[in-house]
Structure 1
């Protein structure tokens, strides 16, 4: 017969220590009001009973849980791994633990995750997805601070850490044009967010201002590029290669897309960068080790995490948020996947 060991609660600890349950609660949350002798008795009781405090139960009673919820769209994408790394380092330094949810760009899943998190954490970070203003206001009214990372927040309702996506892509396309490229393809995930529209507009406006034609068949915006960036780009470009004019250039809104494009080009014996130049957006670790090494845009992912978590914990602690919208700088990292055909 299997014996199931009883899980002790805060009342058991109080009984063992000879104090009230409120005193044990104070020990966890306001230790300075508990005398040293009482603290010692409570510590002995905790050790004897092997008691582990339930952070979620504490959250339901309105006290701090020292946890922060993070909602991301993709858990396997190294872009979000870097953001999470930045978030986690600041959270750990300031005594917080992360609880991460992944929504796969599903708005209903995101909403369910946020509803659950808002009942159990001290604050929430939302990455690369928007939440309806009404819901945001509801969470704020519950006393749950929210910070947006990699989201264009247009109504000033919550603080954000982001980049200027329009200017970043504009500069990138201008770089390709300055290298002599005229056949420039644009690969993007669906335009679900304002920042994705900004990227497309940066591409279109740069072509216009350089008196280059806008050709719809060079603008590839596909549902599959949302979460299957590498595989979907590989499949799509494999079908497009025969109709391409060389030399061409391809801008992808993710390094993972550019790496998928590389595979398709190599299989068709298309030389990179002599026949097709490639440039990505993210500067994930893999981009430096692709063949050839990928020219890309350095996206300040870890810095986004650092600044976003610092902002959120300051918000939780009641400190004023000095700047509600932080725009971080990007830069082109030149490697070997773009050729200057003017030389």
Structure 2
């Protein structure tokens, strides 16, 4: 006698096949009432999941590919940690690669992962990332984090970088800063350019006619150090004072900026207030602790993997029935107020 199928269980429980699959596999994004109905239906029909057979039929590898711009530094370590924690909870393995800011390396990495993974989690925040869309496997579930590779139906997570730049400026002005500067990321990175655009729009609106100093960094500590040195040298040459507030496009550069200011004898925040971006773990251990825009780096990785698992479950449905639309998540950066920008006492 032919055994019950997952489709039979879904019909008996009056749910979609995707919901039945998530309940059977113990995933946490299932309503308790749905889970109860599915498990009761499975028991009634004597449904027995056959992991080996299912893997063979669907050619599953139980591995997901993760493509990041780099795998060096606290930001990407936190992304990978979030992905890994969520993957281990689901019995999945990771195949991780870095593109090193080179779109050709990203294309090569995606091609190398073909046939080895059940889905792709991609972070490719480059202006020319549309080129990557041309080589992405059409039949492979895909979720993007902070990427520009076209419409992704399975799911995407993006960051309101423009809004974060605006919040940084508003905070520095609220702390009494009358002159501002910005150390940006590279022009090839659209997230960096959005943070720069937010800075300029907010600064020009709040301080009309003022000149705002800019330095182009590359998201490394060294470039943050060079940026602060460039501001210090310009002030030494012109005799003008240092900008009272500096918004740095990520925390790694902000750490380098702090070091250069300390070496120059500039008091932070009394002479120069500083705000970073990301809130990586080292930010709270800097001296002084770094004010920053928190995006929840660990959660970016965790939520990205969870979206990908959902996409893989939808992709496993036969005949394309019961397919659900992918989710788009926009993360709004949250100001974390620490001593590096605390020029005013909080209200009583």
TM-score range, shorter chain: 0.7 to 0.9
- TM normalised by structure 2 equals 0.74
Shift, 1:235, TM fit: 2.6
Q: 2:295 matched to 1:292?
A: no
- Range that drifts further, 122-131 or 274-283: 122-131
Aligned to 2:227: 236
- TM normalised by structure 1 equals 0.75
- Name the SS of the counterpart of 1:220 in structure 2: strand
d(CA) in 1 for partners of 2:228 and 2:196? 19
- Name the SS of the counterpart of 1:340 in structure 2: coil
What pairs with 1:246-265 in structure 2 (closer than 5 Å)? 246=242, 248-265=244-261
Shift, 1:295, TM fit: 0.8
d(CA) in 1 for partners of 2:206 and 2:174? 10
Shift, 1:246, TM fit: 3.9
Aligned to 2:297: 301
d(CA) in 1 for partners of 2:54 and 2:326? 33
Larger Rg, first or second structure (1 or 2): 1
CA contact (8 A) 2:251 2:292 kept: yes
CA, structure 1 residues 321+269, in 2 after alignment: closer, same or farther (shift >3 Å)? Answer: farther
Shift, 1:156, TM fit: 4.6
Aligned to 1:29: 52
Q: 2:273 matched to 1:277?
A: yes
Aligned length: 285
CA, structure 1 residues 306+31, in 2 after alignment: closer, same or farther (shift >3 Å)? Answer: closer
What pairs with 1:69-108 in structure 2 (closer than 5 Å)? 69-108=65-104
- Name the SS of the counterpart of 1:119 in structure 2: coil
d(CA) in 2 for partners of 1:327 and 1:31? 34
- Name the SS of the counterpart of 1:105 in structure 2: coil
Aligned to 1:123: 119
d(CA) in 1 for partners of 2:129 and 2:150? 12
d(CA) in 1 for partners of 2:271 and 2:132? 49
d(CA) in 1 for partners of 2:324 and 2:267? 50
Aligned to 2:308: 312
Q: Deviations over 1:112-134 (max 9, x none)?
A: 01110123111111114357556
CA contact (8 A) 1:156 1:324 kept: no
Aligned to 1:4: none
- Range that drifts further, 132-141 or 195-204: 132-141
Q: Which runs of 5+ in 1 are unaligned?
A: 1-26, 33-57
CA, structure 1 residues 193+240, in 2 after alignment: closer, same or farther (shift >3 Å)? Answer: closer
- Range that drifts further, 150-159 or 201-210: 150-159
Aligned to 2:15: none
- Name the SS of the counterpart of 1:282 in structure 2: coil
- Range that drifts further, 247-256 or 128-137: 128-137
d(CA) in 2 for partners of 1:72 and 1:113? 10
- Name the SS of the counterpart of 2:343 in structure 1: coil
What pairs with 1:116-265 in structure 2 (closer than 5 Å)? 116-130=112-126, 132-133=129-130, 135-136=132-133, 138-141=135-138, 143-151=139-147, 155-156=151-152, 159-213=155-209, 215=211, 218-222=213-217, 225-226=218-219, 229-244=220-235, 245-246=241-242, 248-265=244-261
- Name the SS of the counterpart of 2:75 in structure 1: helix
CA, structure 1 residues 76+31, in 2 after alignment: closer, same or farther (shift >3 Å)? Answer: closer
CA, structure 1 residues 285+135, in 2 after alignment: closer, same or farther (shift >3 Å)? Answer: closer
d(CA) in 2 for partners of 1:321 and 1:331? 31
CA, structure 1 residues 339+112, in 2 after alignment: closer, same or farther (shift >3 Å)? Answer: same
Q: Which runs of 5+ in 2 are unaligned?
A: 1-49, 236-240, 316-322
- Name the SS of the counterpart of 2:61 in structure 1: coil
- Name the SS of the counterpart of 2:339 in structure 1: coil
Q: Deviations over 1:78-127 (max 9, x none)?
A: 11111111111111111110111012111111110111012311111111
CA contact (8 A) 1:118 1:139 kept: no
Aligned to 1:340: 343
CA, structure 1 residues 247+297, in 2 after alignment: closer, same or farther (shift >3 Å)? Answer: same
CA, structure 1 residues 291+249, in 2 after alignment: closer, same or farther (shift >3 Å)? Answer: same
